[in-house]
């Protein structure tokens, strides 16, 4: 999305004051913005050596991921609003050799979700700008360690909430979920097997979409069935729990998670001078949230849907002798989202905004065909064309 022959520089790096040496990253680019003049004279030359970027997302285009990102145009949305099967189709699966909607098939018997609270999270792809405020809020609220570039390069990221970004290979996303070449076997083309003959390349001026992804808190969670010590389980309130003192770090749950949102704690990040980013002195530990335990090495961790906040809301209402108010429940990410893309609430309270969003025609689940019945819903992105 950047014009050929131009160079982009990010401001805000290179700070030296009041930062540990490990946190002093990047270069101060304000020197090139002398006297706040829009036109500067500079020269550029190629430096020696190689640089390995630290990136948490390896895929850049949709490449057939139509079950992950769904979008339509405003024209189609307005004309076919009452026909969501056109712009928000439900994936089909095979049952007794017949096609049936994936949402009508269950892997297990469902439990009663009508008693008490049942939490859902809605993410509007129209409103998300990819600013990352939700990620920062999640780190601060849940004592998620900042692991640094070297760990990210080893694919050891610890974000409980990540923001995936997809570029289109054309001027629009239309057709990005189709195969680009007929491909047969390892070398032949135009065969009957189909597939992607080559990797997609984003267009020079692509469309872009941002998608926050956290634990989907599946009602039929594949991670729960494979844990040999029952360290992860489902609550009556719809949250997928982690008992950290039970976890023995087999990582079976991470292998079985279709959303890849579970994180293994490879390193003791707190009270460790070899990993001296934060949480390692009295001042650094002052930022730790006392309502959330600090995990140790060798356990799996993930989004808890801010269970400490939901329980605090319930207990506060109980102490004050009242019912929980409408839209009183919140998570760190929903509270920090300035555009209002993330909404959280109790679907058993029909007055909560989340109830309307879950029932909306734009709502869909991530990888719906897998049959995990997530408690996180996404709203189809509508392009203003």
Q: What spatial distance separates the first Cα and last Cα of the chain, rounded to whole Å? A: 19
What's the token pair of residue 106?
A: 């269950």
pLDDT at 176: 65
Spell out the per-residue pLDDT of the chain, length 385, in tens: 777 888 888 888 898 888 878 778 888 988 888 888 878 888 888 889 998 888 888 788 877 777 899 989 999 999 999 999 999 999 888 888 899 998 888 878 888 888 899 999 999 999 999 999 999 999 999 999 988 888 899 989 999 999 999 887 766 676 666 655 544 444 444 443 445 556 677 777 888 899 999 999 999 999 999 999 999 999 999 999 999 999 999 999 999 999 999 999 998 888 888 777 778 888 888 889 999 999 999 999 999 999 999 999 999 999 999 999 999 999 999 999 999 999 999 999 999 999 999 999 999 999 998 989 999 999 999 988 7
Question: What residue spans define the domains of the chain?
Answer: 71-166+208-264+302-383
CB distance 246 to 231 below 8 Å:
yes
Closest CA to 301 of 252, 271, 346, 265: 265
> Which CATH code is given to the segment(s) 71-166+208-264+302-383?
3.30.70.20
β-bridge partners, 263: 301
Strands in 214-286 per DSSP E: 232-234, 240-242, 263-264
Q: What is the radius of gyration, based on Cα positions, of the chain?
A: 23
Query: Which of helix, strand or coil describes residue 36?
Result: helix
pLDDT at 197: 56
**pTM of the shown model:** 0.88
What's the token pair of residue 2?
A: 């950047």
β-bridge partners, 209: 166
pLDDT at 11: 85
β-bridge partners, 93: 100
């Amino acid at each position: 999305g950047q014009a050929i022959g131009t160079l982009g520089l990010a401001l805000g790096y290179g700070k030296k004051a009041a930062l540990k040496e490990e946190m002093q990253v990047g270069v101060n680019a304000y020197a090139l913005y002398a006297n706040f003049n829009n036109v500067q004279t500079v020269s550029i030359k190629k430096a020696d050596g190689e640089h390995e970027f630290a990136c948490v997302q390896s895929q850049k285009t949709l490449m057939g991921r139509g079950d992950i990102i769904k979008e339509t145009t405003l024209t189609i949305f307005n004309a076919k609003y009452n026909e969501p099967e056109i712009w928000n189709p439900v994936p089909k699966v095979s049952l007794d050799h017949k096609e049936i909607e994936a949402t009508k098939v269950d892997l297990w018997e469902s439990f009663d979700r009508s008693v008490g609270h049942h939490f859902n999270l809605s993410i509007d792809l129209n409103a998300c700008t990819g600013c990352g405020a939700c990620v920062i809020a999640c780190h601060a609220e849940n004592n998620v360690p900042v692991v640094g570039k070297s760990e990210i390069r080893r694919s050891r990221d610890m974000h409980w909430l990540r923001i995936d970004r997809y570029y289109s290979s054309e001027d629009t996303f239309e057709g990005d979920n189709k195969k680009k070449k007929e491909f047969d076997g390892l070398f032949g083309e135009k065969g009957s097997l189909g597939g992607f003959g080559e990797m997609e390349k984003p267009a020079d001026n692509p469309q872009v979409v941002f998608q926050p992804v956290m634990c989907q808190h599946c009602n039929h969670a594949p991670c729960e069935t494979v844990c040999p010590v029952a360290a992860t389980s489902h609550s009556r309130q719809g949250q997928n729990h982690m008992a950290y003192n039970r976890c023995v770090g087999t990582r079976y749950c991470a292998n079985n998670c279709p959303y890849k949102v579970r994180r293994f704690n490879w390193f003791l990040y707190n009270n460790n001078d070899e990993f001296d980013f934060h949480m390692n002195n009295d001042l650094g530990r002052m930022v730790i949230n006392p309502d959330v335990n600090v995990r140790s090495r060798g356990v799996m961790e993930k989004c808890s849907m801010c269970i400490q906040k939901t329980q605090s809301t319930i207990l506060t209402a109980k102490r004050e002798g009242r019912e929980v108010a409408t839209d009183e429940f919140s998570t760190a990410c929903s509270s920090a989202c300035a555009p209002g893309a993330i909404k959280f609430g109790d679907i058993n309270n029909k007055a909560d905004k989340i109830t309307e969003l879950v029932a909306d025609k734009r709502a869909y689940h991530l990888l719906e065909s897998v049959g995990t019945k997530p408690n996180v819903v996404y709203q189809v992105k509508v392009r203003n064309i």
